[in-house]
Structure 1
Amino acid sequence: MNDVAIDAWQIPILVTAAIVLVEAGFNLILRYRGSRPPSQRLRTAGFGVLVLLTITVFVAALGPTRADQLSSVAAAVAAVVALWLTYRSYNATSRAREEREEAAAEPDDPGESDHG
């Protein structure tokens, strides 16, 4: 069997060809629909396809070793962001609980007092 390998110089050509094909597909869809703007769902799907294509080409260009290293770094960054968001959420919950307790401890009508 022949192993298909993509050389680095072929990647820009393949990406350009894919973008041209996607654009041609959108032009055909727009002509078929009467030149109305595409729906939000169609635009989101097209954007998703382009993102997947970009990620696939990027990982293929890096190679398996660098892609593995990059994913390790990305996982570490994601863990730090998750830790920070958890800390902020905990602080917000603690503040809200303290405010509720303070509001419950205060009398309803400040004009009423036991001095009377």
Structure 2
Amino acid sequence: MNDVEIDAWQVPILVTAAIVLVEAAFNLVLRSRGLGPPSQRVRTAGFGVLVLLTVTVFVAALGPTRADQLSSVAAAVAAVVALWLTYRSYNATAKPPPRSEEEPAAKPDNPGES
């Protein structure tokens, strides 16, 4: 048996080819049946399958050691992004929003007692 290994540079080419073939197949089926474009859910499910396929092929091409290292780096980047978003969220709630000049001043509760 031949052992066929996929190099990392081949992954985008294979995924692009798979997307083109799947799209061509869907177009042929839809044209032959006279149907319009698929619903939003079908397109979302198809996109999810393609993402899963891409990640699976990418991890398989890298091998377990490099995939483990890459996941560690990705987790570190995600932690930094989460920290930055938390900081931005804290700053947004800690400061009162600026008043626009078009907003009227606050009125007293009892206008006759001022």
TM-score range, shorter chain: 0.5 to 0.7
| TM superposition score normalised by structure 1 | 0.66
2:66 corresponds to 1:66: yes
Which structure 1 segments of 5+ residues have no match? 100-105
| Cα distance in structure 2, aligned partners of 1:15 and 1:107 | 60
Structure 1 residue 23, shift from structure 2 partner: 3.0
Match of 2:34 in 1: 34
| Cα distance in structure 2, aligned partners of 1:107 and 1:8 | 68
CA distances 1:45-102 after superposition (whole Å, capped 9, x unpaired): 1111111111111111100000000000000000000000000111111113x87xxx
Match of 2:44 in 1: 44
Moved more, 33-42 or 86-95: 33-42
Match of 1:87 in 2: 87
Moved more, 69-78 or 20-29: 20-29
Question: Identical aligned pairs, as a percentage?
Answer: 73
Moved more, 80-89 or 36-45: 36-45
Q: Which has the larger radius of gyration?
A: 1
Q: Give structure 1 regions of 4+ aligned residues with deviation exceeding 3 angstroms.
A: 11-21
Cα gap change, 1:107 to 1:40, in 2 (>3 Å): closer
Q: Which has the higher contact order (CA 8 A, sep 6+)?
A: 2
| TM superposition score normalised by structure 2 | 0.67
Which structure 2 segments of 5+ residues have no match? 99-104
Cα gap change, 1:15 to 1:94, in 2 (>3 Å): closer
| Cα distance in structure 1, aligned partners of 2:19 and 2:88 | 41
